[in-house]
């Protein structure tokens, strides 16, 4: 199994309860909703996923601030910045 470069964290920026499902989804590159549905289905049909969720909540550290920081609505990304500097006249 190939080694993953990204660490496993709880994603507290996209959490519903503790960010466990969101963190697992980011780690395995899956859709967060899919992971949440699987946890709920296992809870309904087996019941053990509640214990697993609580255990993972306790074992997995929350992500440090800015780990998955997305650009804010007002932030300019590099491609937009290059286009905006070309259209602006030079400052005097």
Please check whether residue 77 is in contact with residue 71, taking contact to mean a CB–CB distance below 8 angstroms: yes
Q: Is 69 among the domain residues?
A: yes
Note the pLDDT tens digit of each residue in 69-82: 555 555 455 554 44
- Phi–psi pair at 71, nearest 5 degrees: -60, 140
Return the number of other C-beta atoms located less than 10 Å from residue 20's C-beta. 24
**Residue range of the domain that includes 67:** 12-87
For 48, phi and psi rounded to 5 degrees? Answer: -80, -15
Residue 45 lies in a domain: yes
pLDDT in tens, the chain (92 residues): 555 677 888 887 877 888 888 888 888 889 989 999 998 998 898 778 888 888 988 998 887 776 655 555 554 555 544 455 555 666 66
* Within a domain: 81: yes
Q: Does the model's pTM come out above 0.85?
A: no
């Amino acid at each position: 199994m190939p080694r993953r470069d990204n660490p496993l964290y709880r994603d507290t920026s996209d959490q519903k309860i503790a960010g466990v499902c969101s963190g697992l989804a980011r780690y395995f590159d899956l859709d967060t909703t899919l992971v949440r549905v699987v946890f709920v289905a296992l809870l309904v049909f087996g019941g053990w996923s509640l214990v697993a969720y609580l255990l993972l909540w306790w074992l997995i550290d929350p992500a440090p601030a800015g780990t998955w920081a997305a650009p804010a609505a007002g932030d300019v990304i590099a491609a937009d910045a290059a286009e905006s500097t070309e259209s602006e006249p030079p400052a005097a």
